[in-house]
Structure 1
Amino acid sequence: MAGLFILQRKKVSFNILVLGALGGAIAFGALLNRFDAGAVAQSMRWIGLVGEIYVRLLKMAVIPLIFVSIVCAIINQKSGRQLGRVAAWSLVFLLGTAAVAATVGGAAAIGFGLSAEGIAIGESEAATAHSLEEAAGGMGLLERTIVEIIPSNPFYAMTGQGANATLSVVLIACLVGIAVIGVRTYEPEQAELFTEWMNALNTLVVEIVMMIIMLTPYGIFSLMTGTVAGSDFSGILKLLKFVLASYSAILAMFAVHAALLAALGLNPLTYCRKALTALTFAFTSRTSAGTLPLTVRTLTEKMGVSGGVANLTASLGVSIGQNGCAAIYPAMLVVMVLPTVGRTMTPGFFLVMVLTITVVSIGIAGVGGGATFAGIMVLSALGLPVGIAGLLIAIEPLIDMGRTALNVSDGMVSALGTARITGNLRKEVYDDPRAEFVDQASGH
């Protein structure tokens, strides 16, 4: 970390710092993994402290960033019709890619011949499976999840609590923005005063987010060290086929994202290079919600997406249509559990599974445990046992890293597609290899 600080002071490229932190963390974590578990735990108390602080700082910025940015995006819009187009296209991209991801996940599981019948279960896995079955029994219906997006207490929603807090804040921000537009028709002075205050607050929030983002290399080093040092490699080897099937599906969806960008006239290689920092942090932190500030800044400053589209689409992407956690993973669980109840996958059931996953992907929180929640929802909706998720304890962190990176990529690709179609993309910025994060306070 001292080395990262020295390199940062020497104005070394931010992307190089991120890659250096990732490579150093993998090597250091692998070294720690060879020591006694107690010694590793003691070391990670302090090494992990940096990563935990960084993730909490990012999460702290999520709700203010969403609220202020979306309100400003609406009140600065010249046309309410444009806002409707942005929201509609965002949902088309997010849900459309979720349907494709569910198809890819199911196909990968079938292709690798995955089945829960041959997986041995230990005491901890059995206990987890039992708790998941109890949770599924007390879980509300999908309709309940959608209704809970509307907060009964807006101030509670603004604290970021609850599985649907992100979507609730998006809704509140939209209502506030639309209300300001209404106030302009009879109290233009007050509406203008509020607009000035919100724009000033937006500038302040953006600067705070930028200050936090500059700490990304340190957070990645700490988080990745902890992941590698604490990995159960023996458990990973036991379930190697599931790991390979999962990452095959994840890589296939990254290829779909690249093809979608190419179809929109955007260079996929440019996207890969500019999205690297955000995807690397998502991979190490395993939280797409915590990555949101970094996602938005990448879209606006590196890729030329307008602030309104970047904030709205990326915020929706945290809880809608997550390709990794809410689509690929549930589809693979369904394929695996079918043989245990004496059923076979038919084309008709496969289509029902894809449609169910697409609908259920609405409202899945982009935090740790979101994939398990999505899996329980889908299995319950299809009348299948949910305990299979407890069989995959040992490899959950390893797969969740790839799933989270895919979730964040889906949000960025959806934002780029929406901006491209609605005319909110500055393609010259997207194509500019020099476009980089700008720290407005220091000018760097």
Structure 2
Amino acid sequence: MTTSSPSVLSAPAAPPRRRRWRSPSFSVQIIGALVLGVLLGWAALSMGTSDGTPDGDPNWLTTTLDTIGSSFVLLLKAIVPPLVFTAIVASIANLRNVANGARLAWKTLMWFAITALVSVSIGIALGLVFRPGENTSLTTAGAVEPGRTGSWLDFLDSLLPANFLGIAANTSAGSDGSVSTSVSFNVLQIVVMALVVGIAALKVGKGAEPFLTFNRSALEIIQKVLWWIIRLAPLGTLGLIGNAIAAYGWDLLSPLATFAVAIYTGLALVLFVLYPVILRTNGLKVSSYFRGAWPAIQLAFVSRSSIGTLPVTQRVTERNLGVPAEYASFAVPLGATTKMDGCASIYPAISAIFIAQLFGIDLSIMDYLLIAFVSVVGSAATAGLTGALVMLTLTVSTLGLPLAGVGLLLAIDPILDMGRTAVNVAGQVLVPTIVAKREGILDMEKYRAATSEDLFAEAPEADPTPTPAPAPAQLASSAV
């Protein structure tokens, strides 16, 4: 018997896969850009103006930071109108399969009002404790009325779009005779138009299917473009925070230090006490909420724009926290125009008390109730003209306080606006999450696993290099 020894041909060794460099998470990039922006801002501030005079033109570094930051915000704002319109039309179409669409809308508005009422109560209490109008070195001598005010008719005016997408052009003449034109849009009008078009498409039925298919395709394209813009967020953060420090510094805070501390204390209480209590009461883990919402809160802080942050706010609400897209695409844009716990609750409450104390005016219990009423209802009344200044002037005029006192607070408004906007956006994420949880439509698995890691990473692409098939093993042959 002869036996041949086994002979096995081994397959060629596969080349070692190159280890791909993994970029830091979005939150880490934002924090890094924030630190670098602060350093560059202080450097620009120390350089002074271009000609060395206090009223001279900004230096090259300040101008560069301003250009970078403002360009990023403009890009975000440019994508908002088509995003909001297509997302809401798609959400209306998707709500065909949801029996409680009207109930979701009603509960969203109810939670907007509840959180606003508690927030304004915190603001009133802090105004009475800190007494910022008495603890200031400011006098009423330099008080001037602001050029822009809010009224109770703004809501009705903003509901009626002058054109299909609520786009408006404003022309202004400069002191040197130059004429500039700026184009703006009203998000509330876009929401109204999208709701009308979406409902009309449902009423048309099968005839509207091609339009709804086109709308879904357009939404996917817009979301892809949005992803490209959001990738620039760290660069935009660097420019925005750097320019804020270079342009305003911190010297203006001294006379209004108590007022600023009261505002930021109120904002911190809402963000880190009120919101966690609401989350825990509804059986939601607080850490998951902050992990999921933090990218939008960070961007809101540096951009000072709820509208500019809207695309990020909607994405974290859906992707991180598990709110259904068909509901989030309705609730988040609505919240961006009417849900402002920072700008419409904390800030006007403390500011109105500051102005009353500064001018020696005693407020009655009825006045404090009016402050609460304006906070809860006024944010909707000024939805077409969102902003803290509009809400503040509406509150002050409702109470009969001197509007000239508002002008005294404008010097440090950009510093306060960062915190206000962060709280606004945090609330715009919170309410849809709470409503979705209470209605049993929140993806709890996604919520528990909420993270900001790779938030804006695209779906992994297939490896273009084909994996070599394993070589067939050559069986040992034996002869007997």
Q: Same fold (TM over 0.5)?
A: yes
CA distance in 2, matches of 1:391, 1:264: 41
Match of 2:70 in 1: 52
Q: Is the 8 A contact 2:168 2:185 kept in 1?
A: no
Q: Which has the larger radius of gyration?
A: 2
User: Which residue of 196, 202, 221 corresponds with 2:219?
Assistant: 202
Say whether residues 1:317 and 2:317 are aligned partners.
no
Supply the AA of the counterpart residue of 1:27: L
Supply the AA of the counterpart residue of 1:177: G
Give unpaired runs (5+ residues) of structure 2.
1-19, 52-57, 171-182, 463-480
Deviation at 1:324, TM superposition (A): 0.8
Say whether residues 1:173 and 2:216 are aligned partners.
no
Say whether residues 1:282 and 2:300 are aligned partners.
yes
Say whether residues 1:154 and 2:175 are aligned partners.
no
Q: Is the 8 A contact 1:105 1:331 kept in 2?
A: yes
User: Which residue of 279, 282, 288 corresponds with 1:264?
Assistant: 282
Q: Is the 8 A contact 2:231 2:456 kept in 1?
A: no
Specify the SS of the correspondent of 1:361. Answer: helix
Q: Is the 8 A contact 1:158 1:169 kept in 2?
A: no
Specify the SS of the correspondent of 2:209. Answer: helix
CA distance in 1, matches of 2:265, 2:341: 13
The one-character-per-residue Cα deviations of 1:93-130 (angstroms, maximum 9, x if unpaired) are: 2122111111111111111012169542598x54xx23
Specify the SS of the correspondent of 1:38. Answer: coil
Say whether residues 1:336 and 2:354 are aligned partners.
yes
Match of 2:4 in 1: none
Return the TM-score normalized by structure 2: 0.82
Match of 2:229 in 1: 212
CA distance in 1, matches of 2:246, 2:359: 38
Return the TM-score normalized by structure 1: 0.88
Match of 2:465 in 1: none
Q: Is the 8 A contact 1:29 1:227 kept in 2?
A: yes
Match of 2:34 in 1: 22
Match of 1:12 in 2: 24
The one-character-per-residue Cα deviations of 1:230-278 (angstroms, maximum 9, x if unpaired) are: 2232211221111110100000111211111111222111221222221
- In the TM superposition, structure 1's runs of 4+ consecutive aligned residues that sit over 4 Å from their partners are 116-119, 158-164, 433-436, 441-444
Specify the SS of the correspondent of 2:339. Answer: coil
Match of 1:361 in 2: 379
Match of 2:394 in 1: 377
User: Which residue of 96, 111, 115 corresponds with 2:133?
Assistant: 115
CA distance in 2, matches of 1:390, 1:68: 39
Match of 1:299 in 2: 317
- Larger % of helix: which? 1
Percent identical: 27
Q: Is the 8 A contact 1:164 1:365 kept in 2?
A: no
Match of 2:8 in 1: none
Supply the AA of the counterpart residue of 2:145: H
Alignment of 1:241-252 (within 5 A): 241-252=258-269
CA distance in 2, matches of 1:378, 1:252: 22
Q: Is the 8 A contact 1:270 1:431 kept in 2?
A: yes
User: Which residue of 394, 408, 411 corresponds with 1:394?
Assistant: 411
CA distance in 2, matches of 1:214, 1:297: 13
C-alpha spacing 1:351/1:81, structure 2 compared with 1 (3 Å): farther
C-alpha spacing 1:117/1:432, structure 2 compared with 1 (3 Å): closer
Range that drifts further, 306-315 or 77-86:
77-86
Specify the SS of the correspondent of 1:120. Answer: coil
Range that drifts further, 307-316 or 59-68:
307-316
Specify the SS of the correspondent of 2:160. Answer: coil
CA distance in 2, matches of 1:76, 1:408: 25
Deviation at 1:199, TM superposition (A): 1.2
CA distance in 2, matches of 1:317, 1:383: 29
C-alpha spacing 1:252/1:131, structure 2 compared with 1 (3 Å): closer
Deviation at 1:53, TM superposition (A): 1.4
Deviation at 1:163, TM superposition (A): 8.7
CA distance in 2, matches of 1:98, 1:241: 23
C-alpha spacing 1:94/1:221, structure 2 compared with 1 (3 Å): same
CA distance in 1, matches of 2:134, 2:76: 37
CA distance in 2, matches of 1:130, 1:304: 45
Specify the SS of the correspondent of 1:393. Answer: helix
CA distance in 2, matches of 1:330, 1:13: 36
Q: How many residues align?
A: 423
Supply the AA of the counterpart residue of 2:228: M
Quote the RMSD (CA, aligned, Å).
2.6
Say whether residues 1:130 and 2:130 are aligned partners.
no
C-alpha spacing 1:269/1:66, structure 2 compared with 1 (3 Å): same
CA distance in 1, matches of 2:455, 2:317: 10
Alignment of 1:340-351 (within 5 A): 340=358, 342-351=360-369
Q: Is the 8 A contact 1:90 1:414 kept in 2?
A: yes
C-alpha spacing 1:103/1:286, structure 2 compared with 1 (3 Å): same
Deviation at 1:379, TM superposition (A): 1.0
Give unpaired runs (5+ residues) of structure 1.
1-7
Range that drifts further, 320-329 or 29-38:
29-38
Deviation at 1:346, TM superposition (A): 3.5
Deviation at 1:442, TM superposition (A): 6.0
